[in-house]
Amino acid sequence: MTDKLESLKNEYAGFSMNEKAVNQMKSRIEMAKVENKIEARKRHIRGWAIAAAAALTIFILPNSNASVANAMSNVPVMGGFFSAITIRDYHSDSKNATASVEVNGLKSNDKTGKKTADEINREIKSLTNKYVADFKQTKKADGKVDLDVKVDLDVSTDIIAKTDNYFTLKLTAVEAQADSYQENHYYTIDLNTKKQVKLADLFKKNTDYKTAIKNDIKKQMLEHEKESEDVSYFVSESVEDKKITGFSDDDLVSKASFYLDKNGNIVICYNQGDVAPMYMGALEFTLDKNAVADILK
């Protein structure tokens, strides 16, 4: 995340988007994407010299654990209920490293629901434990590294969407060091089957839903760019630039997460820096129903 924060600072520094700045931004986009991909490859192997220099700090988003638990406890499922359990509750404070981690998961008395909850909880626990492990390594360096800005990482869980048939649990991590980088994880559950829903599950079998999604998202992106000179997405880059940076239009599906809003629309989500420059933040696009109507279940 630290490398992405540096990219973000550069994006904000050039945010005045006249024609010259737009061209400059294109160059920064290339660099941001390259750094993004390098950071991703290094994430599991990079040493803690980087982390120590960043002095990672963890605290919870302004969202009480109790309120999330109450929201989850009222989500009905056939034959039982999904309710909240505490996955991690960790607090620590030092000069440049303050942690307050309170993350909820799911539980269910139903056999299928329990299996689903266990799968989701394992992933959330793994992500949260990594945040805490990162923090503890940084805390060891506290006082040994001269830091100009305190770094914060917000971590929270929340129910962001609920319909008669689905609900979505969202895990959010936001690292801030003057600017911020946001990373989101979505877990959508079918209240009828009590199983986690994958994007492919929403479409008829043997249909090319990926192309339909890709085309609609790309169309929306290009329209947004026409509407504002301050908006930029990777899809508008030249073929040569895409070869250099490694971005492909297929990333519009492979890097996509999703949830279903209160009206049953499919909302496609991207983490910061995945399909657009860092300054664009985390992104959401509601699929045009007409673009996928013929292939939806």
Nearest to 72 by CA among 167, 182, 6: 167
Q: What interhelical angle do 2-13 and 19-42 show, nearest 10?
A: 180
Provide the 3-class DSSP secondary structure of residue 143.
coil
The per-residue pLDDT for 13 is: 47
* Alpha-carbon gap, residue 209 to 267, rounded angstroms: 14
Residue 162, pLDDT > 70, answer: yes
The per-residue pLDDT for 147 is: 55
The answer to whether the predicted template modeling score (pTM) of the entire model surpasses 0.75 is no
Residue 33, pLDDT > 50, answer: no
Percent of the chain with pLDDT over 90: 43
Give the mean pLDDT of the chain: 76
28 in Cβ contact with 114 (< 8 Å) = no
What is the 8-class DSSP label of residue 193?
T
Nearest to 29 by CA among 50, 11, 6: 11
The per-residue pLDDT for 1 is: 57
Mean pLDDT over residues 77-88, rounded?
A: 70
**Tokens 């940076």 sit at which residue?**
245
- For the ranges 71-75, 149-153, 167-171, the lowest mean pLDDT is seen at 71-75
The token pair that represents 297 in the structure block = 């279940």
* Domains in the chain with CATH codes: 2-45+201-292 (3.90.640.20), 55-197 (3.30.565.40)
The per-residue pLDDT for 186 is: 97
The per-residue pLDDT for 152 is: 76
- For the ranges 14-28, 50-64, 100-114, 216-230, the lowest mean pLDDT is seen at 50-64
Kind and range of the H or E run holding 120? helix 111-141
The per-residue pLDDT for 219 is: 96
Mean pLDDT over residues 64-86, rounded?
A: 56
